[in-house]
Amino acid sequence: MNLKAYVAEFIGAFALLFCGVGAMAAGADGLAVAFAHGLAIAVMIGAFGAVSGGHFNPAVSFAVFIRKKLEAKDMLLYWVFQFGGAVAAVYTLKQLYPDAAMVTCAFGLPQTATELAAEMQPVHRFVAEMVGTFFLASVVIGSAVYKGGTQAPGLHIGLTITASAIAIGAVSGSSINPARWLGSAAWAGRFEEAWVYLGGPLAGALLAGLISVYVVHKDEATAA
CA atoms within 13 A on the CB side of 207: 15
Rounding to the nearest 10 degrees, give the CA dihedral for residues 153, 20, 124, 60.
Answer: 30
**Cα 72 vs. chain centroid, distance in angstroms?**
19
Domain ranges of the chain: 3-216
Provide the pLDDT for residue 111.
84
Residue ranges for the chain with pLDDT beneath 70: 1, 148-149, 220-224
* H helix intervals, 29-121: 30-52, 58-66, 72-96, 99-104, 115-119
Question: How far, in Å, CA of 153 to CA of 112, rounded?
Answer: 30
pLDDT at 224: 40
End-to-end CA distance of the chain: 16
Taking the domain 3-216, which CATH number applies?
A: 1.20.1080.10
**For the whole model, what pTM was predicted?**
0.93
